Structure 1
């Protein structure tokens, strides 16, 4: 009986230990989750502070540049870069600790967009400036809209018009990004069937469908013909006109080069309604 009592006692102690460990594990999980949430919330607050401060500083610089004849363009550019660097520094403070994957992607896009703006400020090459600004807009503007609409970042009344302009441009950018993504995807999915025409030339045909919700006024693809050694021996282009959602169009390629072993298709240009 004594042995049985000891065994029973050990079982009870074990059950109590498991219960304590289980509670401890749950408490640790809850604590970790709260810490993660606190870090994400801290970044959102930092973002709200950073964007409003940045626009405050920009207004001051633009006013000074317009009114003070001694305030040179070089100094204005230098100060603008400092404003951008300060904004980035504020955002990077809690960036690594963000656990929400969507928030981290948005944060990364915005920070990268701000860095592209700095590159645009630093160069005197107009083509590079345009390139950096365009890249910055595609990253930064949609990210800002997402922070406001999805994470409740508040924009000061003084900057509401600026935000409205951002939103209008972001809508266009989002549509362009969506169109580019669909066009690139379609380019990789075009399945060409090889045959021979009445003159003995090889031809490649396929039927493509617009499975997106975007209406393309025109859409074109670059085509490269390669030989067995993967060397480009010719090129061509595919045009799709009035490519509406749900519509299908037949394409046909007739390379006159000998020795074509593969056909590579990539997005060239597009225009949406």
Structure 2
């Protein structure tokens, strides 16, 4: 073989080697991406099956409870918890492999909401039951709506009314969650300047603005005055009324106790229009 033939041979060998490596990497990347997609899709399918099965099972339990007089409250509660535990087990099967960050949060919220429902069924304390129900709804219902709207989960015709109820409640919950988030943020960022008033009184003042799209009928904050040692010496309240989007309101506080150096502000309550 002459030198020219050797060069051509080496060039072809390099091209073939590069092509093999390139194909190998491409195949590896495609396989990895395919695996990610497959895992996410597997969870979505698990979710669709589990939510429909959960509602099927709940309907059966409720029918049995209504018709079978020998079916005790204790047995009904135990069976309800089993339905919820089965739903969690089905969802956790492929949850660890999820790559979509939004889907991970939705999965976490939904499963956490179901776990709270289990605690709700275990307690006899009415106040705790109300608390657990509110906490569960805030997590589970918006998560379910997101799974249907954003990830194409299909709800059986038999459960469409359940889903419609969920969607109406989730809209209210999302609005409430958004209002809570904005109210808390406004309170954290509220900076009141300390000054001396016309009659020598200490005043704390600021201008607050509603930069959200939420129309607040009223919004209030608890205020604690602390001295230079960090000891709470008095309490107060900030009240904002008709706080519409884009509205600005002046806040002025006058502590009755002397020695107030700084304030701690926390959301008290709010009502949106």
3-state SS of paired residue (1:96) = helix
What is the CA-CA distance between 1:264 and the residue it aligns to?
A: 1.3
Measured after TM superposition, the shift of residue 10 of structure 1 is 6.6
Stretches of structure 1 lacking an aligned partner (at least 5 in a row)? none
Q: Deviations over 1:119-149 (max 9, x none)?
A: 0000111111111110000000000001111
1:163 matches 2:163: yes
How many angstroms does 1:256 deviate by? 2.2
**1:255 and 1:8 mapped to 2: Cα distance?**
91
Counterpart of 2:137 in structure 1 is 137
Match of 1:29 in 2: 29
| Most deviating of 223-232 and 112-121 | 223-232
Deviations 1:220-257 (A, max 9, x none): 01111122232222211100001011111110111122
Question: Could you say which residue in structure 1 is the equivalent of 2:182?
Answer: 182
Q: Which runs of 5+ in 2 are unaligned?
A: none
| Deviation sequence 1:95-139 (CA, Å, 0-9, x none) | 111001111111111000000000000011111111111000000
Q: TM-score, normalised by structure 1?
A: 0.94
**Aligned residue in 2 for 1:92:** 92
Residue of structure 1 in register with 2:270 after alignment: 270
Map 1:104-123 to 2 at 5 A: 104-123=104-123
Structure 1: which 4+ aligned runs deviate by more than 3 Å?
Answer: 2-20
* Distance in 2 between residues matched to 1:227 and 1:31, nearest whole Å: 63
Distance in 2 between the 1:207 and 1:192 partners? 8
Residues 174-196 of structure 1: CA distance to partner in whole angstroms, max 9, x if unpaired? 00000001101111111211110
Q: Distance in 1 between matches of 2:11 and 2:229?
A: 73
Distance 1:16 1:196, change over 3 A: farther
Partner of 1:128: 128
SS at the partner of 1:234? strand
CA shift for structure 1 position 17:
4.0
In structure 1, the residue corresponding to 2:97 is in which secondary structure? Answer: coil
Which residue number in structure 2 is paired with residue 243 of structure 1? 243
Take 2:238 and 2:12, find their aligned partners in 1: how far apart are those partners? Answer: 76
Alignment partner of 2:96: what SS?
Answer: coil
TM-score, structure 2 length as denominator? 0.94
Partner residue in 1 for 2:55: 55
Aligned equivalents of 1:218, 1:57: Cα separation in 2: 43
Distance 1:91 1:21 in 2: 38
Q: What SS is found at the alignment partner of 1:198?
A: coil
2:192 is matched with 192
Which whole-Å CA distance do the structure 2 matches of 1:264 and 1:116 have between them?
A: 31
Which whole-Å CA distance do the structure 2 matches of 1:232 and 1:13 have between them? 81
Distance in 2 between the 1:4 and 1:202 partners? Answer: 95
Higher mean displacement: 31-40 or 186-195:
186-195
**Distance in 2, Cα, partners of 1:166 & 1:189:** 34
Matched with 1:147 is 147
